[in-house]
Amino acid sequence: MIQENVEKAVLEAVKIGVRPRLPKGKTWSDPNFGLEVIIHVPEGEELAKQTLNERLGIIGGISILGTTGIVRPISADAWKGTIKSCMDVAEANGIKEIILSTGRTSEKCIQQMLKPKDEALVMMGDYLAFSLKEVRRYSFTRVRVATMWAKLLKGAMGYSQTHVRHGILDTRQVCEFFEKKGINPGLITRVGSANTAREIYDIVIGAGGEDIISLVCSHAEKKYQSLAGVPVSVHLVNSSGNLVNLDR
């Protein structure tokens, strides 16, 4: 066993698991006794291709959990740490244009469109402001943001964290935002009756308001650029996983 590659808590769990197999009278503390333990994951290298390992610089196999060996909901610090690690790897590989995505659907769409290197992809999730500000620590010269409508609208309106638990999209605020942008009052009234971001999108598109969607994208780009300090392009992905083509 390569002890330095195994977290302490996980190593203890392995010791407990193999203790019944120890020869009679032998213990872990015996300096004259050693035991080789092989941890094998069938098709581990293939499975690893479906994870973020390669982007984090981990190659040759799949990771098995983390510090304790117990699955827990991912923390904010852990997610932010992953974002930083992805950017570290991108920088080390000479990537100048990185792609921040809010989820797998938007990331997959941008992958199919641009065919970027895997190292250029950063899954930022809901950590919008954090990720954009983090860009300033690196030598990236351009950022692309792949996102879906609800998170795009929140970002354009100044939300720094786009998860619903940090604030449900307030339709009244959306109406105020649209009013400041000079949107038709009749359309704003209809938007005010919506219950979700998806309904807002359908109302706007149904009214032939592609120019409004473009306006939201452009406004978001300006906000994102002020955070990142480099040019930012927004790519809007619909619920079917396809790029929304906008004339901008």
3-state secondary structure 172-230: HHHHHHHHHCCCCHHHHHHHHCCCCHHHHHHHHHHCCCHHHHHHHHHHHHHHHHHHHCC
- Per-residue pLDDT band for 163 (boundaries 50, 70, 90) equals low
pLDDT in tens, 38-80: 777 788 788 777 776 676 666 777 776 555 555 445 677 888 8
**Is the pLDDT at 160 greater than 90, yes or no?**
no
Instruction: Identify whether residues 218 and 180 lie together within a single domain.
Output: yes
Instruction: Identify whether residues 170 and 224 lie together within a single domain.
Output: yes
- Per-residue pLDDT band for 162 (boundaries 50, 70, 90) equals low
Instruction: Identify whether residues 15 and 104 lie together within a single domain.
Output: no
Domain membership of residue 63 (yes or no) is no
Q: Which domain holds residue 51?
A: 3-56
Instruction: Identify whether residues 130 and 212 lie together within a single domain.
Output: yes
Instruction: Identify whether residues 85 and 11 lie together within a single domain.
Output: no
CA-CA-CA-CA dihedral for 97, 102, 103, 107, to nearest 10: -20
Catalogue the long-range contacts made by 49-53 (C-beta closer than 8 Å, 24 or more residues apart). 52/82, 52/86, 52/123
Instruction: Identify whether residues 43 and 81 lie together within a single domain.
Output: no
pTM: 0.69
Domain membership of residue 70 (yes or no) is no
How far is Cα 119 from Cα 107, in angstroms, rounded to an integer? 13
Query: What's the number of domains the chain is made of?
Result: 2
Question: With contact defined as beta carbons under 8 Å apart, do 100 and 144 qualify?
Answer: yes
Residue bearing the bigger pLDDT, 171 or 55: 171
- Helical (H) or strand (E) element with 144: strand 142-148
Domain membership of residue 245 (yes or no) is no
The pLDDT, as a whole number, for residue 223 is 93
Instruction: Identify whether residues 172 and 81 lie together within a single domain.
Output: yes
pLDDT in tens, 110-154: 999 999 999 999 999 889 999 999 999 999 999 999 999 989 998
Which of these ranges, 4-8, 100-104, 127-131, 143-147, has the smallest mean pLDDT? 4-8
How far is Cα 127 from Cα 105, in angstroms, rounded to an integer? 16
Instruction: Identify whether residues 96 and 18 lie together within a single domain.
Output: no
The pLDDT, as a whole number, for residue 2 is 41
Domain membership of residue 243 (yes or no) is no
The pLDDT, as a whole number, for residue 131 is 95
Residue bearing the bigger pLDDT, 47 or 191: 191
Domain membership of residue 198 (yes or no) is yes
Domain membership of residue 116 (yes or no) is yes
Instruction: Identify whether residues 88 and 134 lie together within a single domain.
Output: yes
